[in-house]
Structure 1
Amino acid sequence: MFLIIINDLEMLSRPVREVSHNDRKESRQVEPRARTRPMVVYSSPRRTTSRKCYYENGPGVDKPCSMTLRYLHERLGATCALNGSPMKSMKRKDRWICAGAVTAAVFGLGGCDLRGDTEQAHLQRAKDFKTGGKLQSSVIELKNALQKNPDNAEARWLLGETYLDLGQAPEAEQELVKAKELGFGEEEVQVPLGKALLAEGLYQRVLSEIEANPAFSPASQSKIIAVRGEAHLGLRQLDQACALFAQSIDVDHSYVPGYWGLSKCAGAKGNLPEARAQLEKALKLEEKNSGTWTMLGDIERFTSHQPEAEAAYANALKYKPDDLDALLGRATSRITANKPEEAAKDIDAVLTIAKAHPVANHLRGVIQYGKGNYADAKTSFEQALAVSPGYFPAVLWLGYTNYALKNYAQAESQFAQYVTEYPRVVQVQALRALSQARMGGRKEAQQTLGLLRNAKIEDPQSLSALGQTHMLLGEKDLAARYFREVVTKMPERAEARIELANALLQKGENEQAIEQLQKAIALSPGETQADEQLIQTLIQTKQFDKAKAAISALQARQPKSPAPHLYSGLIAIQQNKADLAEAEFLKAWELAPDDPRAANNLAALEVRKGRIEEARNYYKKVLDRGKEDLSTLMGLYNLELAAKRPDEARKMLERAAAKYPTATQPAALLAGSYLKAGQPSKAIEITQAAAQANPNDLQLLDVRGIAYLANRDPANALEMYQRLVKLLPNSAEANFKLGAAQAALKDRAASASFAQALKLEPSHLGAKLALAQLDLLEGKNDEALRLARELKKEHPETVEAVLIESQALAGQKKLP
Structure 2
Amino acid sequence: MRKQFWVAVTVITLLAVGCGGNPSDQKYLESAIDHFERGDLRTASIELKNSLQQNPDNPRARWYLGRLHLLTGNLADAEKELLRAKELGVVDDSVLPDLASSYLREERLDRLLQLEVGKLSPRSAVRVLSTQATAYLHRKDFERAGILIERAFALEPKGAESTVAQARLAFSQGNHDRSRSILEELLLARPDYAPAWTLLGDVENSIGRLPEAEAAYTKAIENEVNGTPDLLKRSLVRVKLEKYELAQQDIDLLKRRIGSYYELDYAQGLLFFKLKMYQQAQEALELSVQANRYHLPAQFHLGATYLQLGNIDRAAETLNLFHQAHPRSVVGRQLLAEVARVRGDYAEVLRLMGPVVWSSTVTAPSLTLYADALARSGKFKEAETFYKRLVELEPDSPTALARLGEIQLRSGAVESGKAALSRAIELNPQDQAPVRLLVRRHVQDGEMERARGLAEKNLAANPDSPDAIVLAAQVLLLSGEMEQGKELLEKARGLQPGHVVANHELAGLAMSADDRQEAYNRYQEVLAHNDGHLSTLVNLARLKLGEGATEEAVTLLQSAISAHPDAEEPRVLLARQRLAEGDFESVALVLGEKLLADSGSAAPLELLSRSQLAGREYGNARATLRRLAALRPQSAEVAYLQSLVALGMGNAAEERRELERAVAFDPKHLHSRLRLARLELQNGALDAAGRHLAAVESVTTGELPRMRVEAELSQARGEPERALQLRQEIFSRSSQRLDMHALSRQYWVMGRRGDSLALYEKWVEENPEDLSAKLMLASAYSHADREEASKSLYQEVLDKTGGNAIALNNLAWQLKDRDLAQATLYAERAASIAPESAEIADTLSTLLYESGEYERALRYSRQALELRPGHAPFIYRLAKVNAAVGRKAEAVSTLKQLVSRSEWFEGREAAEALLEKLSR
- Say yes or no: TM over 0.5: yes
> Is 1:58 aligned to 2:6, yes or no?
yes
Aligned to 2:388: 484
Structure 2 residue identity aligned to 1:362: Y
> Does the CA contact (< 8 Å) of 2:459 and 2:472 recur in 1?
no
Q: Which has the higher contact order (CA 8 A, sep 6+)?
A: 1
1:578 to 482, 496, 499: 482
1:684-723 residue pairs with structure 2 within 5 A?
A: 688=594, 696=600, 699=603
1:198 to 104, 110, 119: 104
> Does the CA contact (< 8 Å) of 1:377 and 1:401 recur in 2?
yes
Aligned to 1:86: none
Aligned to 2:406: 502
> Does the CA contact (< 8 Å) of 2:588 and 2:608 recur in 1?
no
Per-residue CA distance 1:772-799 (angstroms, 9 max, x = gap): xxxxxxxxxxxxxx9xx99x989989x9
> Does the CA contact (< 8 Å) of 2:398 and 2:428 recur in 1?
yes
1:319 to 214, 217, 223: 223
CA 1:309–1:450 in structure 2 vs 1: closer, same or farther (change >3 Å)? closer
> Does the CA contact (< 8 Å) of 1:369 and 1:377 recur in 2?
yes
1:401-550 residue pairs with structure 2 within 5 A?
A: 401-405=305-309, 407-426=311-330, 428-429=332-333, 432-433=336-337, 435-436=339-340, 439=343, 441=345, 444=348, 447-448=351-352, 451=355, 456=360, 458-550=362-454
Aligned to 2:555: 651
Greater displacement, 185-194 / 226-235: 185-194
CA 1:482–1:215 in structure 2 vs 1: closer, same or farther (change >3 Å)? same
1:226-237 residue pairs with structure 2 within 5 A?
A: 226-237=130-141
Greater displacement, 153-162 / 721-730: 721-730
Aligned to 1:166: 72
How many residue pairs match? The answer is 677
Tell me how far apart the structure 2 counterparts of residues 679 and 141 of structure 1 sit (CA, whole Å).
65
Structure 1 residue identity aligned to 2:453: A
Q: How many angstroms does 1:322 deviate by? A: 6.6
Q: How many angstroms does 1:754 deviate by? A: 8.2
Aligned to 2:760: none
> Does the CA contact (< 8 Å) of 1:294 and 1:316 recur in 2?
yes
Greater displacement, 452-461 / 480-489: 452-461
Greater displacement, 805-814 / 525-534: 805-814
> Does the CA contact (< 8 Å) of 2:36 and 2:226 recur in 1?
no
2:457 to 526, 535, 553: 553
Aligned to 1:94: none
Q: Secondary structure at the match of 2:191?
A: coil
Aligned to 1:105: none
Q: How many angstroms does 1:566 deviate by? A: 1.0
CA 1:605–1:297 in structure 2 vs 1: closer, same or farther (change >3 Å)? same
> Does the CA contact (< 8 Å) of 2:640 and 2:672 recur in 1?
yes
Q: How many angstroms does 1:574 deviate by? A: 2.6
Tell me how far apart the structure 2 counterparts of residues 362 and 605 of structure 1 sit (CA, whole Å).
55
CA 1:705–1:492 in structure 2 vs 1: closer, same or farther (change >3 Å)? farther
> Does the CA contact (< 8 Å) of 2:572 and 2:591 recur in 1?
no
Aligned to 1:245: 149
1:139-150 residue pairs with structure 2 within 5 A?
A: 139-142=45-48
Per-residue CA distance 1:343-382 (angstroms, 9 max, x = gap): 4444444444344344444344444444544444444433
Tell me how far apart the structure 2 counterparts of residues 764 and 156 of structure 1 sit (CA, whole Å).
87
Tell me how far apart the structure 2 counterparts of residues 302 and 588 of structure 1 sit (CA, whole Å).
51
Tell me how far apart the structure 2 counterparts of residues 385 and 439 of structure 1 sit (CA, whole Å).
25
Equivalent pairs: percent with the same residue? Answer: 25
> Does the CA contact (< 8 Å) of 1:662 and 1:691 recur in 2?
no
Quote the RMSD (CA, aligned, Å). 5.2
Q: How many angstroms does 1:118 deviate by? A: 6.0
> Is 1:660 aligned to 2:608, yes or no?
no
CA 1:555–1:673 in structure 2 vs 1: closer, same or farther (change >3 Å)? same
Q: How many angstroms does 1:589 deviate by? A: 1.0
TM-score by length of 1: 0.68
> Does the CA contact (< 8 Å) of 2:71 and 2:228 recur in 1?
no
> Does the CA contact (< 8 Å) of 1:440 and 1:723 recur in 2?
no
2:41 to 121, 135, 152: 135
Tell me how far apart the structure 2 counterparts of residues 756 and 147 of structure 1 sit (CA, whole Å).
89
Q: How many angstroms does 1:535 deviate by? A: 3.4
CA 1:520–1:447 in structure 2 vs 1: closer, same or farther (change >3 Å)? closer
Greater displacement, 757-766 / 539-548: 757-766
Unaligned runs of 5+ in 1: 1-55, 62-112, 742-749, 769-785
Aligned to 2:168: 264
Q: How many angstroms does 1:276 deviate by? A: 0.9
Tell me how far apart the structure 2 counterparts of residues 252 and 557 of structure 1 sit (CA, whole Å).
73
Per-residue CA distance 1:217-267 (angstroms, 9 max, x = gap): 333322222222222222232333333334333334565444333223213
Tell me how far apart the structure 2 counterparts of residues 793 and 553 of structure 1 sit (CA, whole Å).
57
Q: How many angstroms does 1:490 deviate by? A: 1.3
Structure 1 residue identity aligned to 2:72: L
Structure 1 residue identity aligned to 2:38: G
Q: Secondary structure at the match of 1:474?
A: coil
Q: Secondary structure at the match of 1:356?
A: coil
Greater displacement, 703-712 / 212-221: 703-712
Q: How many angstroms does 1:699 deviate by? A: 4.8
Unaligned runs of 5+ in 2: 10-18, 646-653, 674-684, 694-704, 713-836, 839-866, 876-896, 905-920
Aligned to 2:193: 289
Q: How many angstroms does 1:592 deviate by? A: 1.5
Tell me how far apart the structure 1 counterparts of residues 153 and 623 of structure 2 sit (CA, whole Å).
63
CA 1:603–1:503 in structure 2 vs 1: closer, same or farther (change >3 Å)? same
> Is 1:632 aligned to 2:542, yes or no?
no
> Does the CA contact (< 8 Å) of 1:254 and 1:285 recur in 2?
no
Tell me how far apart the structure 2 counterparts of residues 714 and 185 of structure 1 sit (CA, whole Å).
82
Tell me how far apart the structure 2 counterparts of residues 230 and 737 of structure 1 sit (CA, whole Å).
71
> Does the CA contact (< 8 Å) of 1:263 and 1:274 recur in 2?
yes
Per-residue CA distance 1:386-423 (angstroms, 9 max, x = gap): 22222222333334444455555544444443443444
> Is 1:387 aligned to 2:387, yes or no?
no
Per-residue CA distance 1:442-493 (angstroms, 9 max, x = gap): 6655654665697556433322222123223332222111111111121012
Tell me how far apart the structure 1 counterparts of residues 617 and 118 of structure 2 sit (CA, whole Å).
68
Instruction: Kindly indicate which of the two structures has a greater share of residues assigned to helix.
Output: 2
Tell me how far apart the structure 2 counterparts of residues 720 and 238 of structure 1 sit (CA, whole Å).
62
Q: How many angstroms does 1:563 deviate by? A: 0.9
Structure 1 residue identity aligned to 2:505: N
Aligned to 1:356: 260
CA 1:337–1:446 in structure 2 vs 1: closer, same or farther (change >3 Å)? closer
Tell me how far apart the structure 1 counterparts of residues 627 and 145 of structure 2 sit (CA, whole Å).
52
